[in-house]
Amino acid sequence: MTRGMNPAPMSVTAPIVADAVVNTIRGTRTSTTIWIPKKLRILAWIMRCVPRPLWRKMPR
């Protein structure tokens, strides 16, 4: 069904996710959140900075 379609924005493949999980487990990071792709970390930070009243007025 998806043959020929463009990939979704910021989509990643299973091997990329697996590598990131393994690297986090092997590393010394104590964080339990893994941002894949890393651009999502920035996006989440921006979303936290937007005031709640503004979020409520945004179209759904």
**How confident is the model over 40-60, as pLDDT tens digits?**
889 888 888 989 898 888 887
Q: What percent of the chain has pLDDT over 90?
A: 15
Cα 21 to Cα 1, 37, 39, 49, 50: the distances in Å are 29, 12, 16, 27, 29
Phi, psi of 52 (to 5 degrees): -60, -45
Indicate if the pLDDT at residue 30 is higher than 90: no
Indicate if the pLDDT at residue 7 is higher than 70: yes
Question: Which band of pLDDT confidence, cut at 50, 70 and 90, is reported for residue 17?
Answer: very high
Q: What angle do CA 34, 15, 6 make, to 5 degrees?
A: 95
